[in-house]
Structure 1
Amino acid sequence: MLKNLVTERKLIRTLAKNDFKTKFAGSYLGIVWALVQPIVTVLVYWFVFQVGLKQTDTSAYHGYPFILWMLAGLVPWFYFQEAMTGGTNVLMEYSYLVKKVVFKIEILPMVKAVSALFIHTFFVCVAVVLYSCYGKFPGVYGLQILYYSFCMFVLASGICYAASAVAVFFRDLLQIVNIILQVGVWATPIMWDLQSIGLPGIVAKIFKLNPMYYIVYGYRDALINKVWFWERPGLTLYFWGFTVLMFLIGTRIFRRLRIHFADVL
């Protein structure tokens, strides 16, 4: 499967571009809609927390305004959310390709993961510009965003292989994934800081088992804390152990079920 992903990389890139374009085909604003919803979400959270709940104490966020601190967590979450919802439904969406005997359907979950990178890249650039406007340019530490984006890409891809395969036989899985993502945005320390709320040690460790904790705090390390990823060896080893295992399990489930995809669809 990995060999096919490498040899078909040009096809994956082409399909990802088409997937991104056709998602908004026929609408007057086109791909602008891909930007509107995340921007509105950021503004709503900013208004609720900073204006409504008066989250103005910058000392709790390492001297950074709350909007910048929150944005560092929301940017990776937007990618993960887009990749998961699109990846879970990808085999149903591209059922006409699944039914083609000669088409290598194992590239389809990867198409959604790559497609979500386009809008993610835009928001990373927006975040860097916004930080710079506040006089908080991330500097050389910001290069770690490439590393953490790759981490998130591999994590989302592995989960999508399993989810897309199971969703063919259990269509309710997409709704379950949406609910998990709704809960996950609050279970992941994005709008709140795990260190500052004083949770008991065992509870804090449970939250850190969430692999997106590593990604969210990785983005904050790159943009705010100025910490290199190798300075957190325990979390790094755990994340990659979990991610590689998830990728192996996901691709194995996909291979086991793929012979039934065309018949069910």
Structure 2
Amino acid sequence: MKEVVTLIKEQLGNLGIMFRISRYQDKSDYQSHYLGLVWEYLYPLIQIAIYWMVFGIGLKKGASEGVDYLSWMVIGITPWFFMNSVTLDASKSIYQQVGMVSKMKFPVSILPSIKIISNLSSFWTMLVFSIIIGFFKGGITPSIYWIQWIYYFFAMIMWLVAFGIFNSTVSILVRDYRILLQSVMRMLFYMSGVLFNFQTDAFPPAFVRILQLNPFFYIVNGFRESMFSEAWFWQHSTLTIIFWLFVIFFLLVGSHLHYKFRSHFVDLI
């Protein structure tokens, strides 16, 4: 538990550095492109358009009853794109910054969290776009349920911090782990209810209950239920407890591994 407290202190105490490094990396990534940082906002919108055209017709019956499929799909794919990008970027954040790790004295634990900040711009862009689609195509109107987005956003960030510190450390200890993680994330894309609603009578109840244990599903479904005013998060008490147990587990294990091997990162890389 002491390691978790230390990790959280390092995150909060270095927020300024994290934001500065994030801005620098964003500019560095897009400096050779004509549109520059515009791609950070344009890319997620292109992705939404592609998935809508490819899956919009064939899977539109997979959405919740009475809900426009495009509105349903976009609000779910928004947190997924963010979580997928952050998860994969964070897993290689320490490995890629070996030069910075060896030459600069600052907490290495903030490197995965920098990836969270770097991807926030595209997340906010997609969320606003999702709300606009909901207004004009889905007939969605603001409701008190929307306040839950604050909770689900916080839950998403905490999950990404915990999962990020775990993945970034294990990726150094086990070189094949990043390849495995990429494959797992591809599989979870279809098992997190992003493109179709598996909470229907078409799927066996036991199968549905297993898929609902997925932390990524918890966040995706939470954003949807908030958008369409379907339920409060405390009405899913069992899933909420399981989700936070996942967060605590990866935070404890990830923090322990990180501080145990941090002094050997440069040698291991």
On whether the aligned pair clears a TM of 0.5, the verdict is: yes
Residues of 1 paired with 2:31 and 2:232: CA distance? 41
Shift of the alpha carbon at 1:256? Answer: 1.3
The alignment status of 1:261 with 2:268, answered yes or no, reads: no
Alignment match, 2:241: 237
Q: Which amino acid in structure 2 is aligned with residue 241 of structure 1?
A: L
8 A Cα contact 1:16 1:112, kept in partner: yes
The alignment status of 1:74 with 2:80, answered yes or no, reads: no
Alignment match, 1:38: 44
State which of 45, 53, 65 in structure 1 corresponds to 2:68: 65
Shift of the alpha carbon at 1:167? Answer: 1.7
Residues of 1 paired with 2:179 and 2:41: CA distance? 23
> CA offsets, 1:82-136, max 9 Å, x none?
1011101111222122103622211111111222222111111111122122331
Residues of 2 paired with 1:102 and 1:37: CA distance? 34
Taking a change above 3 Å as real, the CA distance of residues 34 and 174 of structure 1, as seen in their structure-2 partners, is: farther
Q: Which amino acid in structure 1 is aligned with residue 130 of structure 2?
A: A
Residues of 2 paired with 1:28 and 1:170: CA distance? 38
Residues of 2 paired with 1:38 and 1:180: CA distance? 21
> CA offsets, 1:150-179, max 9 Å, x none?
111111111111111122243333222222
Alignment match, 1:104: 107
Alignment match, 1:146: 150
Alignment match, 2:4: none
Report the 3-state secondary structure (helix = DSSP H, G, I; strand = E; otherwise coil) of the residue aligned with 2:216.
helix
Deviation larger for 65-74 or 194-203:
194-203
Shift of the alpha carbon at 1:17? Answer: 2.3
Alignment match, 1:165: 169
Alignment match, 1:15: 21
Shift of the alpha carbon at 1:54? Answer: 6.7
Q: Which runs of 5+ in 1 are unaligned?
A: none
- Please give the TM-score of this superposition, normalised by the length of structure 1: 0.91
Count of residues in correspondence between the two structures:
262
8 A Cα contact 1:218 1:229, kept in partner: yes
Identity %: 25
Q: Which runs of 5+ in 2 are unaligned?
A: 1-6
8 A Cα contact 1:62 1:224, kept in partner: no
Taking a change above 3 Å as real, the CA distance of residues 14 and 221 of structure 1, as seen in their structure-2 partners, is: same
Alignment match, 1:184: 188
Residues of 1 paired with 2:263 and 2:17: CA distance? 22
- Structure 1 stretches of 4+ with a deviation exceeding 4 A read none
